[in-house]
Amino acid sequence: LARNVETGLQRSSVVSDRGSYALLGLVAGVYDITARRVGLEPTTRRQRIAVGQTLTLDFQLDAATTTLSAVTVTASAIETRT
């Protein structure tokens, strides 16, 4: 996900099987670029993008620390007659 810091405009991309991605059509400016995957901690970098620039950013995502919380489900019985 690339989010323009000034305008808030967001552009997302899906990573290929080989781990590459492309964020095309970004206007020049400063972006917060975030890589995320389920089960891993997201990583964000701030990057200035210039007109016509091709940029390679590699991300290393670490395992997420997940805390599970208890869920309690309550229900009342419904009487049925057959």
Q: Is 34 helix (H, G, I), strand (E, B) or coil?
A: strand
pTM: 0.70
Cα–Cα distance for residue pair 31/54, rounded to 1 Å = 14
| Predicted local distance difference test score (pLDDT) of residue 71 | 81
Q: Return the number of other C-beta atoms located less than 10 Å from residue 20's C-beta.
A: 9
Helix (H) or strand (E) run with residue 31 in it: strand 29-35
- Cβ atoms of residues 42 and 36 within 8 Å: yes
pLDDT digits (tens, 9 = 90+) for 26-80: 999 999 999 988 888 899 999 999 998 888 888 888 888 776 677 888 877 777 7
- Cβ atoms of residues 22 and 13 within 8 Å: yes
Does residue 11 carry a pLDDT above 90? yes
